[in-house]
Amino acid sequence: MTMDEKKPTNLADNLSSARKYDPNMNPAGSASQIDAEKLKTKLDSFKKKLLKKFPFIKALGIIPPSAVPLFEEDERLTKEEIESKPTHIIMIIPEEQYKNLAKIKPEVIKIVKESGENIWVHMKTSEVDLWNYGLDSKFEFLDAIAGSFPLHDNGFLGSLRVAVIHKNLVLNWLNVGRVRYVATYAIGGSLVRGTADKTSDVDTFVIIDDTDVKRMSRIELIEKLRGRIVGEFVKEATALAGVKNILNVQVYLLTDFWQSVKDAHPVMFTFIRDGIPMYDRGTFIPWKRLLQMGKIKPSPEAIDLYMKEGDRTDDIIKRRMLDAMVDIYFGVVTPTQAMMMLAGHAPPVPKTLIEEVKKALVQEEKVLTLSDLKILEKAVKLYKDYEHGKIKEVPGKEIDLMMEESRAYMKKMKEVREKLEKKSQENQTQNIHETAFNLLKKIFGNKPQNELVEQLENELIKKGKIPERFLAVAKELGNIKTKTKGKKPLSQSEMQKISRDASELIDSLIEYAQRKDMVSLERGIMQISINGTRAEILSADKNIFVIEGTGRIRKIHDGKLVNSGRQALEQALSGIKEKLKFELSPQNMEILRRELGDFSISF
């Protein structure tokens, strides 16, 4: 801290502090203090032999050098053993293997000797030995184990590491100098049970001493704490730990937590009973001892509160039965409105729903029966009575009956949808069929359908007047009515394709019919072919027009072909009083060849 920085004097000051994570904040040190990769390679053979012999091992890690004296003192190594400077390795095994320690230790010593390396193995069980460090307030041991360099880890070591890093982030933020605002940082869940793996959630609890907070509301305080501890610090700890475990953090104020303990809140009781402190200022461990001694008992007020919860059960169930009735109501009404829209009607409001559905779906479309309508009518009546306060509860048996009826009704709605979609398709395809073949009759005369398709092929497609692909479209439209008479309606994609293809064919036929009408007058006309594309040259009222297959119209003006609209062409045609012979002067022929290029002529 620089001379200019103001030392925090209360929790509010600490909340505004921007202190960052210091990798050296861990008093036990970290694996970065050792040549980890070199040692890992050196100990690889030892690790493999150990895991082959004891596959149940949860984790193997090299203890950071700065933490080695803690373990040497804890296990009372002799002066000679300490001076030999062995590599200290933590070996974590399941609690159920504790009974076999007498057999495991000699085997481990044998493997150590065979490796030829100077190694000291510290064997700890995951559910008693490690957590005793927390219960004995030896938190630096847990920090050291979490900071060890992993040789093998089934996820237990990584879970512990992310919790320790997060703890240190919180402590570094809120515990400055002699000011200590973190009352307790504890772990629970699968990590404490010794079952944590690489995908397990890591459950932690943080209790913050809020007894000196005077300038901030409790809600504002807890929001600020959670925003940093649960938001920012969780992301940072996960990234620094390099694990995939999800860190779940619960933040409590000390005063609220103590009140919950007095009120016998089950979550707090479970937390105190099963949790293990990784940092404690003298609150959690006494609570745990008192709970084990049976000294923490719920207050009379808490007992009364819990009894009242039982009294509220009847009201809660009644409320939920009413909610279920409302859900069933919307479950039958909303699909009914959808079917009304499919039948071509606006979705009716609940007030007129029954009357309009009866008229449209029962009488006109005949897809619903009066029995089906009664189910809908019953749901609507119950809901109206509920809205008007006429009913206060619905028996469970009635809800069961309504559920059964709504299932049957929804099954019926699906059948109705299929029928309405099929009918809609039949009407749509009928209109498409009639439009296309009426156009063909206008062009070729009132002939049977197969002859119309044949003339379409011979007169229009083979002569290049409309694209060749329209032959297949016309044949498909000829069979479309039969196709939609099947049991199931066509799929949406099939209908879209048919509509699109039919629309393109109809547009081409309309365009051809219009061009045919224009040139059917008594006048001079000559057909030409330009690079395989058909066009027509029209002589009308001393004007020469060129009508291309695309519908583009041009005329000769001042020795050039210029764009001309359909209106100019029709005006020239209207001035014709008698039948004309086609006449094309050499000058105009030259203009056409210059403008159009080479073309062939057929009269």
Which residues does 398 contact at the CB level (< 8 Å), separation at least 6? 325
Crossing angle of the two packed helices 492-519 and 396-444, in degrees rounded to 10: 20
CA-closest candidate to residue 42, choices 145, 151, 158: 151
Q: What are phi and psi of 31, to 5 degrees?
A: -65, -15
| Each residue's pLDDT tens digit, 539-583 | 776 788 888 877 788 888 888 888 887 778 777 777 665 555 566
Do 188 and 253 lie in one domain? The reply is: yes
- Chosen domain end from 491, 517, 543: 517
Phi, psi of 135 (to 5 degrees): -70, -25
pTM of the entire predicted model: 0.52
Question: How does residue 369 score in pLDDT terms, banded at 50, 70 and 90?
Answer: very high
Instruction: Please write the tens of the pLDDT for every residue from 169-220.
Output: 999 988 876 778 899 999 998 889 888 888 889 999 999 988 877 677 888 8
Does residue 1 surpass a pLDDT of 70? no
> Minimal CA–CA distance to 234: which of 163, 176, 184?
163
Cross-strand bridge partners of residue 180? 175
The pLDDT-based confidence of 35 (bands split at 50, 70, 90) is: low
**What is the SS3 string spanning 399-428?**
HHHHHHHHHHHHHHHHHHHHHHHHHHHHHH
Q: What is the pLDDT of residue 452?
A: 87
Say yes or no to pLDDT of 520 above 50: no
Q: Give the separation between CA 129 and CA 133, rounded to whole angstroms.
A: 7
Is residue 46 within 8 Å of 117, Cβ to Cβ? yes
Q: What is the pLDDT of residue 580?
A: 54
Q: In whole angstroms, what is the distance from residue 459 CA to residue 212 CA? A: 98
Count of structural domains within the chain = 4
| Distance, C-alpha 322 to centroid of its chain | 32
CA dist 463 and 173 (Å) reads: 87
Within a domain: 298: no
Average pLDDT over residues 104-112: 93
% pLDDT > 90, the chain:
37
The residue ranking higher by pLDDT, 421 or 482, is: 421
At residue 311, the pLDDT reads 75
Instruction: For residues 426 and 472, give the distance between their C-alpha atoms in angstroms, rounded to a whole number.
Output: 20
491 and 344 in a common domain: no
Q: How confident is the model at residue 260, as a pLDDT? A: 82
Provide the pLDDT confidence category of residue 371 given band limits of 50, 70 and 90: very high
On average, the pLDDT of the chain sits at 83
Ranking 21-35, 53-67, 345-359 by mean pLDDT, the lowest is 21-35
What pLDDT, on a 0 to 100 scale, did the predictor assign at position 353? 92
Show which of 482, 517, 552 is a domain's final residue. Answer: 517
Amino acid identity at 168: N
Contact 224, 179 (CB under 8 A): no
- Verify that 43 and 135 share a domain, yes or no: yes
Do the bridges between strand 119-125 and strand 247-253 make them parallel or antiparallel, or are there none, so unpaired?
A: unpaired
Q: Does position 31 have pLDDT exceeding 50, yes or no?
A: no
Q: Say whether both 312 and 275 belong to one domain.
A: no
Task: Evaluate whether residue 404 is within a structural domain.
Answer: no
The residues, ordered by sequence, that sit 6+ positions from 566 with a Cβ below 8 Å of its Cβ are 553
Cβ-in-10-Å burial (0-12, 13-18, 19+) of 268 comes to: buried
Written as one letter, the residue type at 428 is Q
User: How many other CB atoms are found less than 10 A from the CB of residue 463?
Assistant: 12
- Asked whether residue 405 is assigned to any structural domain, the reply reads no
Residue in the structure block whose two tokens are 């058909």: 534
193/341 same-domain check? no
Q: Is residue 453 part of a domain?
A: yes
Q: Do 272 and 187 have their domain in common?
A: yes
* Cross-strand bridge partners of residue 166: none
In a domain, 5, yes or no: no
Decide if 512 is inside a domain: yes
- The reply to whether 154 and 197 lie within a common domain is yes
Q: How far is CA 476 from CA 323, 361, 425, 480, 494, in A?
A: 52, 32, 15, 6, 12
CB 527 within 8 A of CB 603: yes
3-state SS class at 105 = helix
Can you name the residues that pair with 540 across neighbouring β-strands? 543
352: its two tokens: 């007129």
Q: Give the model confidence (pLDDT) of 381-406 as tens digits.
A: 999 998 888 888 899 899 999 999 99
Both 111 and 179 in a single domain?
yes
Residue 23 reports pLDDT greater than 60: no
Q: Which has more confidence, 514 or 460?
A: 460
Q: Is residue 419 part of a domain?
A: no
Q: Is residue 402 part of a domain?
A: no
The b-or-e profile of 189-205 (16+ CB within 10 A means b, else e) is: bbbbebebeeebebbbb
Question: Are 181 and 231 contained in the same domain?
Answer: yes
Asked if pLDDT for residue 265 goes beyond 50, the answer is yes
Where in 126-237 does DSSP place strands (E)? 149-153, 175-176, 179-180, 182-188, 202-208
> Are residues 288 and 309 both part of a single domain?
no
Share of the chain above pLDDT 70, in %: 86
Question: Which residue segment(s) compose the domain that 430 sits in?
Answer: 424-517
Task: Tell me, yes or no, whether 496 and 541 share the same domain.
Answer: no
- State both tokens at 449: 């359908």
DSSP-derived secondary structure for 253-321: EHHHHHHHHHTT-HHHHHHHHH-EEEEESSSHHHHHHHHHTT-----HHHHHHHHHHHHHHHHHHHHHH
User: What is the dihedral sign for C-alpha 362, 365, 366, 369?
Assistant: negative
How far is Cα of residue 424 from the mean position of the Cα atoms in its chain?
A: 35
Per-residue pLDDT at 169: 94
Among candidates 405, 404, 406, 421, which has minimal Cα distance to 367? Answer: 421
Residue 10 to residue 30: CA distance in whole angstroms = 31
Residues 321 and 219 reside in one and the same domain: no
Domain end point (choices 492, 517, 542)? 517
